[in-house]
Amino acid sequence: MNFGFSRNRPYTLSDEQNSLCTAIANTGKKNKEALDKIENKTSMEEYCSFCAEKGQNSKIIVVNNKQVYGRSVGKWSWIYICRGCRQYVGMHPYTTVPLGLRADFKTRQQRIISKGKFNDLWYLRRQKHEISVRMRTMYYKLLAEEMNLKKEDCHFGMFDYEQCIEAEKCIIRIRENLKNE
C-alpha cells in the first residue's frame, strides 16, 4: 500500500507515522472510498521546499495536530509539519493525502479571512442543508471561472497568499454580477 510518503527514498517511519499507517490499515474500506473521492491526490514532499529556498534542509514529519492546536482536533488528526519552519497541513480523512499545500502563518490567516468572505456568498442560515451544498458547489464553479482555475484546483486550502487576495476581488465581482442579474 502506498501511504503517500516518498517511495523513491526509503522513509524511516517515526512512531507517529507508524501509528498513522496502522490507523489507515484499520479503516478498511473507508480508506479506499476516501481516496476515490479525492480528485487531486498529491503526496507530501520529504524535505521542505520553503526551507530549501533558504538553504536549509528540513524534514517534514507526521504529528498529531495537538502539537499546533493544543488539543487533538477532528476525526483524522494527523498533520504534516516541517521541523524547520513549522509550516503544516492536514490530511484528507482516512488517507495520507495532504489537504492542499502547506502554508506559512500569514497565508493561513489570509485563507481563513478569504474563505469567510466566500462563505458569506452561499451560506444562508435558514436554507436546508442540501440547498446550501448546491449553492456552495455553484459558487465554487463561478469562483474557479473568475480565477481561471480548474474546478479541482479552486480550494482555499490550496491558495497561496496572492491567490487569496485575488479570490476576494473575484468574490466582489461575482456578488455584483449576481446583483445585476
| Of residues 39-58, those binding Zn ion (CB under 5 A) | 48, 50-51, 58
Which residue stretch of 63-71, 83-91, 92-100, 118-126 sits at the interface with Zn ion (rule: CB under 5 A)? 83-91
The C-alpha cell at 79 is: 498533520
CA atoms within 13 A on the CB side of 175: 12
Residue of 85, 144, 147, 165 that binds Zn ion (CB under 5 A): 85
Q: Which among 87, 152, 159, 64 is positioned nearest to 118, based on CA atoms?
A: 159
Closest among 157, 130, 169, 37 to 138, alpha carbons compared = 130
Residue environment code for 94-116, b if the CB has 16+ CB neighbours within 10 A, otherwise e? bbbbbbbbbbeeebbebbeebbe
CB of 7 to Zn ion, least distance (A): 21
The smaller minimum CB distance to Zn ion, of residues 82 and 99, is found at 82
Q: How far is the CB of 51 from Zn ion (least distance, A)?
A: 3
Q: From residue 65, give the alpha-carbon distance in Å to each of 18, 22, 40.
A: 16, 17, 23
Nearest distance from C-beta of residue 114 to Zn ion, angstroms: 23
- When binding is defined by CB under 5 A, the residue of 24, 82, 143, 167 that contacts Zn ion is 82
Pick between residue 85 and residue 165 the one whose CB is nearest to Zn ion. 85
59 in Cβ contact with 83 (< 8 Å): yes
Q: Which is nearer to Zn ion, 48 or 170 (CB)?
A: 48
Q: Which is nearer to Zn ion, 55 or 70 (CB)?
A: 55
- Residues forming contacts to Zn ion in the complex (CB under 5 A) are 48, 50-51, 58, 82, 84-85
